[in-house]
Structure 1
Amino acid sequence: MGANHDDHHHAPDHHGRALRLGVGGPVGSGKTALVAALCRTLGGSLRLGVVTNDIYTTEDADFLRRAGVLDQERILAVETGCCPHTAIRDDIAANLDAVETLEDRFGPLDLVIVESGGDNLTATFSRGLADRQIFVLDVSGGDKVPRKGGPGVTSADLLVINKTDLAPLVDADLNVMARDAAAVRGDKPVLFTSIRQDPSASAVAAWVSEQARSWPHEPVPAA
């Protein structure tokens, strides 16, 4: 049913539309805080929209609106009513509707961030929904998490290991995490960050900005 619905959406021809960035990861890994940081850091240079996913609430969208990181109308919430990965991988219709609503209302946009609800290491975005994917882990699960792999860890375009400031408190070795992430990801990038220590998420924002700037959309007008 979802696949048939998707056929009615704009063809992903990569021209004249925003880059669609999926942000996924387990519950509590810091996805929403990262999205907020990206909006704060990039909002002055990129035309943004955000879609959040929660099962039965609009909690993540409400958090972003209260934080004032973006005009409230540019943040839309999807209530999936099902496992989070279903709405970003299997039946993406509701998310595509939300993305296209943002582009119709505010376009042309440079970047639409789609944040998944909290899921596990198997969560990945359909390429029909997200052009680039970030998977967020945090150190509180211990330094063994990256070597467990899973599609989210191994296939995301960028792996972010968050909350590095907690590493001494949970006895997590960041060098071990870096080694194991490289072993399962090959040459795909891995960035370590702490939103608490770096509220701008500067390294992640620089990566996202480069992806958006190289995307073949309508250019940002000169100031």
Structure 2
Amino acid sequence: MHLHRHHDGLGGSGAAAHRPDGTRRALRLGLGGPVGSGKTATVAALCRQLRPELSLAVVTNDIYTREDAEFLLREAVLPPERITAVETGACPHTAIRDDISANLEAVEELEERSGPLDLILIESGGDNLTATFSRGLVDAQIFVIDVAGGDDIPRKGGPGVTTADLLVVNKTDLAPHVGADLARMAADAKAQRAELPVVLQSLRGEAGVAEVAAWVRERLAAWQA
């Protein structure tokens, strides 16, 4: 089943687009997906790719730890004051879709502390194919799945696969080792998503995160316009 679609790539966030002083706030992009799909690695790669040209920050979500934020800090992808963590204490859906108050507070604190910012990446804790972000929290969302999880994932669908503004099929370099059919995954994703974009990605490859970064730049240009 296809839920509501957003063809402008921004999603029409329910949150105010401007700060109290009238200036435009940062674009907020959510990254969700199953455990181990490569969300944090994708966030790290985006930070490295975009930090020379953009002012950005990251909010991570974990249930009981700050492991993802600590990974980003160890990798020094951004200054420490631009990385913060939310411990959800429950299913990740709660903090990104149902009760978004902790994430909104984290976002607002980042903008106050490090602003003005161009972009804030909000990473969900690892979840299943139903994970989606509240449009009161993010302006657009990326859903990350990986080849090792099975080449039938795009065909199975689910809100994350079918409605995210961008679907990333990650770890394509593993396809020969796990018997995954990339052409089939791409075709199934197209069938599920119609005109919504899909990127097949290997962070170990030469292109790396470049195609996703280009998509982010397009969203940011539209947001700032």
User: Which position in structure 2 is the counterpart of 1:110?
Assistant: 118
| Counterpart in the other structure of 2:205 | 197
Q: What amino acid sits opposite 1:176 in the alignment?
A: R
> What percentage of aligned pairs have identical amino acids?
68
Matched, 1:147 2:155: yes
Is the contact between residue 32 and residue 60 of structure 1 (CA under 8 Å) also seen in structure 2?
Answer: yes
Cα shift at 1:198: 4.0
The match for 1:129 is 137
Q: C-alpha deviations, 1:10-53, integer Å up to 9, x for none?
A: x8232310000000000000000000000000001111010000
Aligned residue among 65, 68, 84 for 2:73: 65
Deviations 1:58-115 (A, max 9, x none): 0000000000110011000000000011110000000000000001111111100000
- In the alignment, which residue of structure 2 is the partner of 1:99? 107
The yes-or-no answer on 1:50 pairing with 2:58 is yes
Structure 2: which 5+ residue stretches go unaligned? 1-13, 19-23
Which amino acid in the other structure matches residue 178 of structure 2?
Answer: V
Structure-2 separation of matches of 1:139 and 1:166: 7
Q: Is the 8 A contact 1:14 1:216 kept in 2?
A: no
CA distance in 1, matches of 2:114, 2:45: 21
Of the three residues 165, 177, 187, the one matched with 1:157 is: 165
Q: CA RMSD in A?
A: 1.2
Q: Which one of 169, 172, 175 corresponds to residue 167 of structure 1? A: 175
Structure 2: distance between partners of 1:129 and 1:109: 16
Correspondence for 2:190:
182
Distance 1:130 1:198 in 2: 30
Q: C-alpha separation between the residues in 2 aligned to 1:199 and 1:69?
A: 18
Question: Post-superposition shift, 1:199?
Answer: 7.2
CA distance in 2, matches of 1:81, 1:213: 35
Given that 1:139 and 1:166 are in contact with CA atoms closer than 8 Å, whether structure 2 keeps it comes out as: yes
Match for 1:13 among 12, 16, 19?
A: 16
2:95 to 78, 83, 87: 87
For 1:126, the aligned partner's letter is: S
* Distance of 1:105 and 1:152 partners within structure 2: 32
Alignment check: 8 A CA contact 1:17 1:108 kept = yes
Q: Does structure 1 conserve the Cα–Cα contact (< 8 Å) formed by 2:201 and 2:208?
A: no
Question: Once the two structures are superposed, what CA deviation does each residue of 1:155-189 show, in whole Å capped at 9, x if it has no partner?
Answer: 00000000000001111111100100011101000
1:200, CA displacement in angstroms?
A: 4.5
Q: Which residue type is aligned with residue 82 of structure 1?
A: A
Unaligned runs of 5+ in 1: 1-10, 218-223
TM-score (norm. length: structure 2): 0.90
For the residues of structure 2 that align with 1:205 and 1:176, how far apart are their CA atoms?
A: 24
Say if 1:194 and 1:100 are closer, same or farther in 2 by CA, change over 3 A.
same
Q: TM-score w.r.t. structure 1 length?
A: 0.90
